[in-house]
Amino acid sequence: MTKLITLYYDEQDTPIGILTLLGDGEHVLRIDYGSIKDLEEKWQKWTKRYFGDVTFVHNPTVFIEPKNEISAYFSGDKKTFTFSYKLYGTDFQQQVWRALVDRIPFGEMKTYKDIAEIIGNPKAVRAVGGAVNKNPFSIIVPCHRVIGANGKMVGYNGGLDKKEYLLSFESNNLKLNI
């Protein structure tokens, strides 16, 4: 018989809509645009792959630090995130996501080709795009900072309006020393 695992969630209002955080009590596992009602089916499929059968329990106390950091980001007081999170994906996806976190500073942009070169696989531009599309950490893993080779904004799971907002917001807050 399979053991049912409990994962926790909470929602956070932001200037670009609701973010819903999913965690195991120790690490944040996902941050997605939308409410739990919007995400439950998507999360059931995702968690089945990595955890088996789960139940989602609303528990705001699990997310105090991450929500404080997200609020500080949107108030212009924080450029990087330090709360504990855990990436689940293929080795390639994780390599791409780490490159986004480690190699694209606040307020800067890189192309999909740049990321492919950073990870030492310059021909993997399309695969990088696929990994960016599967990013489980909206804003935290800064896929909004990845643009097309022509300098144009292309695809964003949250919608191009959110991507434009985030890039403009970061550009306007570059003077921060945090």
Paired strand residues for 19: 12, 33
Q: Is 143 a catalytic residue?
A: yes
The string of DSSP letters for 61-84 reads: GGGHHHHHHHHHHHTTS-SS--S-
Rounded Cα distance between 95 and 16, Å, is 27
pLDDT value of position 4? 87
Burial class (CB in 10 A: 0-12, 13-18, 19+), 28: buried
Per-residue pLDDT reduced to its tens digit, 135-152: 999 999 999 999 888 777
Rounded Cα distance between 170 and 73, Å, is 9
Per-residue pLDDT reduced to its tens digit, 40-62: 999 999 999 999 999 999 999 99
Spot the catalytic one: 31, 143, 166, 167: 143
Whether the full predicted model's pTM is greater than 0.85, yes or no, is yes
The stretch 114-129 carries a mean pLDDT of 95
Per-residue pLDDT reduced to its tens digit, 72-103: 999 999 999 999 999 999 999 999 999 999 99
Among the listed residues 81, 87, 89, 86, the one whose alpha carbon sits nearest the alpha carbon of residue 131:
89
